[in-house]
Structure 1
Amino acid sequence: MESQATPGRVNDDYAVVGLEWAVVLDGATALKPAENGCIHGVPWVVHRLAGNLAHTLTVTPDVALADALAESITRTCAAHEKTCDLSNPDSPSSTVTILRRRDDVLDYLVLGDSPLLVKRAGRVEPILDERMANLNDYSYDAVMAAQNTSDGYYVANTMPDAAYQAVCGTLSGGGVDAAALLTDGASRLVDAFQLMSWEELFYIISTEGPASLIAQTRKVEADGAATSDGRKRKHHDDATAVFIDFML
């Protein structure tokens, strides 16, 4: 389920799902779009990252997820390196969250603030990359200085090695009942507005579906709720949620 922040405007989120894997991406709006060195919009980059990932995950099903993302970033850069200034730190970027079933295990990768929720043994476990939340200065200069650095946070844009800084791991597939991949626009009832727990959010998406979760988020936004996590966030944000029930 996808929903753009403002109807009629392009959605910077994207989701792509295969038989054994799912991917969600959340493109970041350039802080200075007129000066970011790229002639393409954020969706152009996000869609190519997604398409390259889908290709790699399909044709090489056992590839390490970090390798798959690094290759996707490399191919995306090659598609516009002759037209755009890829040395500009404000070049379009994206978070990436991947979940893949491989034999009897589940592999995951989380790069940026798009959470992965996994339910196993009756408990909901969030798998998070929280480095972006640790920023205490959201000015242009501070964000650009922190991006893709060990003292800051990592995203997918022009540095393939950022893929190897993602939160990665493997779970026993037999013990996982369900999972949800969310962009931060779909997780904000927990991490931005702090109105519920991850367990409560997961209950909504698993019993009522992604559309209901996003509808409830839009209502909270429309009612004027303020973010309470200390981060500078959009009042309205693109939202994408993918729910996977392994018990079906």
Structure 2
Amino acid sequence: MSRWRARHSTLLLANWEGETTAVADRRLDEVGKRLRGPVDALPTGTPEHAAALAEYRDALTGLRNRPGGFWIAGPDPLAAEHALAGTVPLESLASVTLLSDGATRLVDKFALADWREVLAVLDSTGPDGLIRRVREVEGGDPDGRRWPRGKTHDDATVVHWPLS
């Protein structure tokens, strides 16, 4: 069995009018929704959950870097041909933020904040403050009953660049 981690990041672009645009490749999420039922039905950290998670990961392996699946550039540089790409005039931006999937959980997993609220936390307490809030929420649901997930805590990384 091959071990690999499927990750995605979100690029958060904020303009000077206070509007935010989140850019993320959600193809892995879409594939995962079709396959995650058995994983999400079990308490995180149990042997049954671990077995279901291993089956889920094996199923994902067959869909990696294939049409109808999702693309990860790490193991296959040709996957870059399927990447999301675009441009934004730098002078239109108030900030640029890159968040790993573990850092976006307040918005996309737990639905406890929106992107404006995330930016407010980042502007007031920085990346450490945002990650601390994510950890508090994760700690309140350690077995994943309220918010089913593969593991209690996910790696969380944030780069926040105010352009003022």
Please tell me the TM-score bracket, short chain as reference. Answer: 0.7 to 0.9
Q: What per-residue deviation string (whole Å, max 9, x for no partner) do you get for residues 151-180 of structure 1?
A: 011112321111121111100111001011
Of the candidates 27, 45, 54, which is equivalent to residue 131 of structure 1?
27
2:127 corresponding residue in structure 1: 210
Q: Secondary structure at the match of 1:152?
A: coil
Counterparts of residues 1-248 of structure 1 (less than 5 Å):
35-36=1-2, 90=3, 92=4, 95=7, 113-120=8-15, 121-135=17-31, 136-138=34-36, 139-224=56-141, 226=144, 232-247=149-164
How far is the alpha carbon of 1:141 from its aligned partner? 3.8
1:41 corresponding residue in structure 2: none
| Cα distance change, pair 180–224 in 1 and its aligned pair in 2 (3 A) | same
2: CA distance, partners of 1:148 / 1:119: 31
Q: Which runs of 5 or more residues in structure 1 are unaligned? A: 1-34, 37-89, 96-112
Q: Which has the higher contact order (CA 8 A, sep 6+)?
A: 2
2:84 alignment partner AA: V
2: CA distance, partners of 1:228 / 1:200: 21
| Cα distance change, pair 175–155 in 1 and its aligned pair in 2 (3 A) | same
| Cα distance change, pair 228–133 in 1 and its aligned pair in 2 (3 A) | farther
Q: What per-residue deviation string (whole Å, max 9, x for no partner) do you get for residues 38-70 of structure 1?
A: xxxxxxxxxxxxxxxxxxxxxxxxxxxxxxxxx
| Cα distance change, pair 212–223 in 1 and its aligned pair in 2 (3 A) | same
| Cα distance change, pair 159–183 in 1 and its aligned pair in 2 (3 A) | same
How far is the alpha carbon of 1:142 from its aligned partner? 2.2
Q: What per-residue deviation string (whole Å, max 9, x for no partner) do you get for residues 177-207 of structure 1?
A: 1011000111101111111111111211122
1:117 alignment partner AA: L
CA RMSD of aligned residues (A): 2.0
Larger strand proportion of the pair: 1
Q: Secondary structure at the match of 1:115?
A: strand
Q: Secondary structure at the match of 1:167?
A: coil
2:43 corresponding residue in structure 1: none
How far is the alpha carbon of 1:228 from its aligned partner? 6.5
TM-score by length of structure 1 reads 0.52
2: CA distance, partners of 1:127 / 1:213: 19
Q: Secondary structure at the match of 2:157?
A: strand
| Cα distance change, pair 215–236 in 1 and its aligned pair in 2 (3 A) | same
How far is the alpha carbon of 1:93 from its aligned partner? 5.2
Contact 1:192 1:227 in 2 (8 A): no
TM-score by length of structure 2 reads 0.77
